[in-house]
Amino acid sequence: MPLEHLHPDRDRAVSFGSSAGAYDRFRPGYPSALFDDLLATRVSAALDVGCGTGKVAIDLLGRGVPTLGIDPDPRMVDVARRRGAVVEVSCFEDWEDAGRRFDLITCGHAWHWIEPARGLDKAVRLLERGGRIARFWNFHAVQPDLLAEFETIYADVAPSITVIGRDPSHDDDAPDPFATHAAFTAASPRVYRWRRRMTSAQWAGLVATFADHRHLGSETLARLTSALQDAVERQNGVVRVHGGTYLLSARRR
């Protein structure tokens, strides 16, 4: 799962803001069952790390949870604020917490941008005892015949990047530092399954929001997304996504 620790590449970590509108439009949110589980016990204050355009923070606020977001990209923050989120601009490791403490820290699709040791130490300091940190990622698995076409296209156009469309939920994880830290008790990983139907244009818009795709350059990215759209059109113009949200969580002792 996505624990590649991409944190040294800060340029990529803050590159999403240049297409903040597309990110907000094409990236899906997270399933209700995930929030049901995170809020099974009372949460009085939540911190959403790498909040982006506010997809997690807005859901938490809608459930009555006082939530503060932080994100290093002002352009992403502008979108989140327009949606009603309260957000401070900062990377997590350098954020001035001013003594604030939380009983829930969330991080959707962003923890891999955070320096592991500093992020772990900061989570220890910010969480109240009994509080929980939840890191989660979405994946988008497509029908096998379409995936086979996608893999051929990537091998031809962009062989160095990750093929979007695979199901990584059965892959081996990198070690989770929260699982071995004395301050935390880690829960077993969990996958929340969901389905979604997408058009060829929606699929192209989605894949173009991923950092490795964006760094192909505009010409190569256009070739890739055009070829992917053509493949979808050959499959009656529909991508049947059997997706999932992969959760890693740990409780502060």
The residue that leads in pLDDT, 1 or 113, is 113
pLDDT digits (tens, 9 = 90+) for 143-174: 999 999 999 999 999 999 999 999 988 888 78
pLDDT digits (tens, 9 = 90+) for 62-83: 999 999 999 999 999 999 999 9
Residue 137 is predicted with a pLDDT of 96
Burial of 132 (C-beta count, 10 Å sphere; 0-12/13-18/19+): buried
pLDDT digits (tens, 9 = 90+) for 3-30: 555 555 555 555 555 679 999 999 999 9
Token digits of residue 14: 């803050």
Sorted by where each starts, the structural domains of the chain and their CATH numbers stand as 10-252 (3.40.50.150)
Residue 227 is predicted with a pLDDT of 98
- Helices and strands of the chain, counted as H and E runs: 11, 8
Residue 58 is predicted with a pLDDT of 98
pLDDT digits (tens, 9 = 90+) for 169-213: 888 878 899 999 999 999 999 999 999 999 999 999 999 999 999
pLDDT digits (tens, 9 = 90+) for 23-62: 999 999 999 999 999 999 999 999 999 999 999 999 999 9
Residue 177 is predicted with a pLDDT of 93
Residue 19 is predicted with a pLDDT of 78
The three state secondary structure string of 27-39 is: CCCCCHHHHHHHC
DSSP secondary structure string, 70-122? EES-HHHHHHHHHTT-EEEES-GGG---TT--EEEEEEES-GGGS-HHHHHHH
Confidence of residue 101 (pLDDT cuts 50, 70, 90): very high
Q: Where are the beta strands (DSSP E) in the chain?
A: 46-49, 67-71, 86-89, 102-108, 127-141, 184-186, 190-199, 238-252
Residue 170 is predicted with a pLDDT of 80
Report the distance separating Cα 70 and Cα 107, nearest Å: 10
